[in-house]
Amino acid sequence: MSHPQLVSAARPSYGYIVSFHDLHPTPAAFREEVVAGLRRPRKAIPAKFFYDQRGSALFDEICQLEEYYLTRTETALLENHVPEIATLLGEDVLLIEYGSGNGRKTRILLDCLPNLAAYVPVDISKDHLLAAATDIAQAYPYLRVTPVCADYTREMAFPDFEEFPYRRRVVFFPGSTIGNFTPDEAEDFLRHAADVAGPPGALLIGVDLKKDPTVIDAAYNDKRGVTAAFNLNLLHRINTELDADFDLRAFEHRALYDPVQGRVEMHLVSTQPQTVRIGDEVFTFAEGETIHTEDSHKYDLAAFQAMAGRAGWTVKRVWQDSLQYFAVCLFTLAPQSVA
């Protein structure tokens, strides 16, 4: 009962997005990154471009697949431990979520965190972000919802949110989305998150762990072919948004876990020699040549904690399922010592 003045009677009701910060990457950036990626000797397109409307819907479907253990394992961890998470985080938290998704995991936290100062979802896809933020705002009318549209895989100046009184900033990064970064990029991201949170901030992050390769391979090669459709949708998106002529029947999905590198590599394989046009630019593919579309890194828990430590974080608590497939980690930043 440390903040009795903050109970609902004293709180305004919103039910809509209170403010919106648009740091949106322009459509030109999409074209430039795709063209630059396809000009490389080993063709590649960044995984962040999977998530147009159809891609996001396909990803939601992946999350419900029997083979895709990540979502149900992390969701159960959050559900089982949210009272403890809420106690450890305390009141008046400014909750910043990167890659806001469908909101299912967010709601587990929102239902339990007392007197949140504001909820700040950050996502690259503006339509998806605004739709998800509006849903949350309507479901939680006492919550200030202030989305930020940004590409957090690049340098960005984070809004300061000084207009909302809060006690600590908490960055929420679920889903093992951090796995899309290389280990070096992941460490940089953890440093960026420490910067955004600032002392006495915290980071609640989900990370997929190394395990039996057959379990991982199955998760990225589901029987119904949803992951294949998700991967191929990238070409469909490029066709519609960038005036391109990829023939989706001439590419196929490939995903393979490399236990040495500790990552799933996802590719689109050209099944024949062919040329593809994007606007005025032409790209040639040999039979069997691939476009590398995603890396999904799996971590050893101790190595991940050590990386977070190098980025300035202290381990507060780690929750794992009984099979040790997945970990939800709570890291904190010590309050700044007086110089």
At 3, which amino acid appears? H
Contact call for residues 202 and 170 (beta carbons, < 8 A): yes
User: Nearer Cβ to ligand AVJ, position 56 or 115?
Assistant: 56
User: Nearer Cβ to ligand AVJ, position 144 or 292?
Assistant: 292
Closest contact distance (angstroms) between CB of 208 and ligand AVJ is 7
Closest contact distance (angstroms) between CB of 8 and ligand AVJ is 35
Q: Please choose, from the candidates 144, 323, 137, 294, the residue with its C-alpha nearest in 3D space to the C-alpha of residue 230.
A: 294
Q: Which of 177, 221, 233, 270 binds ligand AVJ (CB under 6 A)?
A: 177
User: Nearer Cβ to ligand AVJ, position 51 or 140?
Assistant: 51
**H or E element that contains 110:** helix 104-110
Q: In 3-state terms, the chain is what percent helix, strand and coil (to 5)?
A: 40, 25, 35
Contact call for residues 114 and 86 (beta carbons, < 8 A): yes
74 is a contact residue toward ligand AVJ (CB under 6 A): no
75 is a contact residue toward ligand AVJ (CB under 6 A): no
Return the structure tokens found at 28: 């030109």
Give the gyration radius of the chain's Cα atoms.
21
232 is a contact residue toward ligand AVJ (CB under 6 A): no
Q: Which residue number is nearest to ligand AVJ in terms of Cβ?
A: 296
Counted residue by residue, the chain has a size of 339
Site of tokens 């559900």: 79
Task: Give me the DSSP letters along 121-171.
Answer: EEES-HHHHHHHHHHHHHH-TTS-B--EE--TTS-------TTS--SEEEE
220 is a contact residue toward ligand AVJ (CB under 6 A): yes
Closest contact distance (angstroms) between CB of 180 and ligand AVJ is 5
Distance CA 335, CA 297 (A): 31
The residues in 9-48 that bind ligand AVJ, with binding defined as CB under 6 A, are none
Closest contact distance (angstroms) between CB of 192 and ligand AVJ is 17
Which window, 34-42, 108-116, 175-183, 308-316, contacts ligand AVJ (CB under 6 A)? 175-183
User: Nearer Cβ to ligand AVJ, position 140 or 304?
Assistant: 304
Closest contact distance (angstroms) between CB of 80 and ligand AVJ is 21
The residues in 179-208 that bind ligand AVJ, with binding defined as CB under 6 A, are 179-180
Task: Give me the DSSP letters along 50-64.
Answer: G-SHHHHHHHHHHHT
Distance CA 150, CA 148 (A): 6
175 is a contact residue toward ligand AVJ (CB under 6 A): yes
User: Nearer Cβ to ligand AVJ, position 139 or 301?
Assistant: 301
Closest contact distance (angstroms) between CB of 323 and ligand AVJ is 17
**Strand arrangement, sheet containing 290-297:** 251-258, 263-270, 290-297
Site string for ligand AVJ, 263-302 (x = CB under 6 A): -------------------------------x-x------
Which window, 9-17, 18-26, 177-185, 313-321, contacts ligand AVJ (CB under 6 A)? 177-185
Checking DSSP bridges between strand 202-208 and strand 251-258, what pairing results, if any? unpaired
Binding site for ligand AVJ (CB under 6 A): 62, 70, 175-177, 179-180, 220, 227, 294, 296
